[in-house]
Structure 1
Amino acid sequence: MSVSDLSSRTVLVTGATSGIGYQTARLLAERGATVLVHGRTAEEAHAATDRLVTLANVDEARLRPLGADFTRLEEVERLAHRVLAEHPHLDVLVNNAGMAAPERHTVTADGNEIAFQVNFLAHYLLDPALTSEPGGRVVNVSSVLHRTGSIQWSDPNRTRRYSRLAAYSQSQLALTVFAADPRVTAVSVHPGICATSLLPLYAHEGVAPAEGAAHVVRLCDPATEIVNGAYYDREHRVTPAPVALEERTVKRLSKLADVLVGQTA
């Protein structure tokens, strides 16, 4: 396989209907990959694949639309089961779906702070959909804001003290820590400050989403060697927040996530 050829790869991209996720799906499909295009609903996923075909001239045969609302964990579980049934040899899971925490404290029907669930817990639950065969990997689209975050172990839903920036940063820190889980081969990447719906959390201006997506796609390429748990700021491997490298934190987060997604014994 050449560096530019991904025709033997199957990739699930969450949050692929807009922004970095949409552009990631486009770039992967243009390089020959079969892309599972996830959206909040089946209708949104189909609309995204239609745009990729008509506007980006992507081969329709390379696209598979999938819907699941990450604010409902039962839908995430159904998505995981469907992927396992229809694509048992998934090569890459791109954990891209994300949202800015709302101004007001918001809890999902599953009982979790909404940004923590959408940005982290849903992806934690999805992870079993990734093949365990050699070469499989997870690419977490994280954020430089993970460095400002802290995980409130006794109150992850932040019911006692809430701010949208703290909630968002906590979710990104959790996603970055998750990459160091030894049960998966995973990396995290800050794709840069891009002109997406999340831009107001960072700055007034950002680069085109396609520029950020290129950094994600590079890590999907098997020609790019990765080290489990590595963190990238765009194309450069850098050291993440110190807590993200602590084995104790990785284990503690896994236990917390199991409780919050209802996977306790």
Structure 2
Amino acid sequence: MSPTLPATLSGRTVLVTGATSGIGFEAARMLVDSGATVLLHGRTPEEARAAVDRLIAAAGVDGALLRPFAADFSRLEEVENLAHAVVRDHPYLHALVNNAAMAAPERHTLTADGNEIAFQVNFLAHYLLTTMLEPALTSEPGGRVVNVSSSLHRTAAIQWNDPHRTRRYARLAAYAQSQLALTVFAADPRVTAVSVDPGVCETGLLPLYGHEGAPAAEGAAHVVRLCDPAVEIVNGAYYDRSERVSPAAAATEDRTVKRLTKLADLLVGHTA
């Protein structure tokens, strides 16, 4: 069942990470169609600008409502620069969609920051970005964060003593760990946040799940619904598409939330 999209988001500003393709691109299109100002994030300035141009050409949207931003999430310094740029230009942010994600590579890979690459791109970069945007998200009532997660978080365990999986690496386990961490992070009390599994869609992550998926727009609709201030949310809630369900037990444990915060602060601390 398709969710009801917002009638209007006029006057609201939303940052969507990973918005140059897939669910992120479709979410940006739906948000700007609803009248929101969309800060469209891409890995490079060229990719972000090209996505803005595609939206203007294909959807006929008002280009004044689209603002391109860029950061390579495999480099925490670029994430920090992104946060500074957003706050400088948009001190009031109504919603942040943490959507950017990558499939963990076949071979164990560390970033220049020393973190396992899927853990950094899918979780740590969003952790750093969200915490740095906290003033913009909480400057007015109703600011919210929507973490685009995955049902695979239920299969995961966070390797607290070896989060970079240097001793034992498996692609699917690394990806699932990043999704569990992102889901746990939604329960952080500093900002109001939820997680949503948009379903298996035709995106770059499809090979992790199988060979067939729904159109990306279908998954994006479940994400955009949660950006609507008319939809009441509870901090830490988890949605399977439009239905609120219980996440993995770890995602509701206060002890796990605090432990993850401590770990993430340690891993991003040298740039924060």
Give the TM-score normalised by the residue count of structure 2: 0.95
Query: Which residue of structure 1 lines up, in the alignment, with residue 189 of structure 2?
Result: 182
| 1:150-176, Cα deviation, whole Å (9 max, x unpaired) | 100000000000001000000000000
Aligned pair 1:124/2:130, yes or no? no
Which structure is higher in RCO with an 8 Å CA cutoff and minimum separation 6?
A: 2
The secondary structure found in structure 2 opposite 1:249 is: helix
Partner of 1:49: 52
Name the structure 2 match of 1:226: 233
Q: In the alignment, is residue 21 of structure 1 matched against residue 51 of structure 2?
A: no
**Structure 2: stretches of 5+ with no match in the other structure:** none
Counterpart of 2:156? 149
SS of residue in 2 equivalent to 1:55: helix
Q: How far is 1:59 from its partner?
A: 1.0
Unaligned runs of 5+ in 1: none
Are 2:103 and 2:175, in contact at CA under 8 Å, matched by a contact in 1?
A: yes
Residue 73 of structure 2 aligns to which amino acid in structure 1?
Answer: F
**4+ long deviations beyond 6 Å:** none
> 1:264 & 1:49 partners in 2: Cα distance?
29
Q: Is 2:243 aligned against 1:236?
A: yes
Is 1:40 the counterpart of 2:46? The answer is no
Determine the structure 1 residue equivalent to 2:87. 84
The answer to whether structure 1 residue 63 and structure 2 residue 66 are counterparts is yes
**Residue number in structure 1 paired with 2:217:** 210
**Partner Cα separation in structure 2 for residue 212 and residue 24 of structure 1:** 9
2:229 and 2:270 mapped to 1: Cα distance?
Answer: 32
**Counterpart residue number, 2:104:** 101
Number of the residue aligned with 2:166: 159
The whole-number CA distance in structure 2 between the counterparts of 1:3 and 1:27 is 9
- Measured in 2, the distance between the counterparts of 1:82 and 1:205 equals 38
Taking only aligned residues, the RMSD between alpha carbons, in angstroms, comes to: 1.3
Whether contact under 8 Å (1:258, 1:264) holds in the other structure is no
* Correspondence for 1:171 among 170, 178, 182: 178
Map of 1:9 onto structure 2:
12
Count of aligned positions = 264
Q: Give the corresponding residue for 1:253.
A: 260
Aligned-partner Cα distance in 1 for 2:61–2:101: 24
Identity %: 75
Tell me the CA shift for residue 263 of structure 1: 5.4
Shift of residue 131, structure 1, vs aligned partner:
1.9
- For the residues of structure 2 that align with 1:13 and 1:42, how far apart are their CA atoms? 15
Equivalent residue for 2:146, pick from 123, 133, 139: 139
Give how far 1:119 is off: 0.2
Q: Distance in 2 between matches of 1:193 and 1:254?
A: 29
The answer (yes or no) to whether the contact 2:6–2:34 under 8 Å persists in 1 is no
- Listed one character per residue, the Cα deviations across residues 61-85 of structure 1 (whole Å, up to 9, x for unaligned) are 1100001000000000000001111
Could you tell me the TM-score, scaled by structure 1's length? 0.98
3-state SS in 2 of match to 1:250: helix
Name the aligned partner's letter for residue 143 of structure 2.
Answer: G
1: CA distance, partners of 2:12 / 2:43: 24
What is the Cα deviation at residue 3 of structure 1?
A: 4.3
Partner of 1:114: 117
Q: Which amino acid aligns with 1:111?
A: G
SS state at 1:225 partner = coil
**1:168 partner SS:** helix
Report if aligned partners of 1:12, 1:37 keep a CA contact under 8 Å in 2: yes
Q: Deviations over 1:197-217 (max 9, x none)?
A: 100111110000000000000
Distance 1:167 1:93 in 2: 24
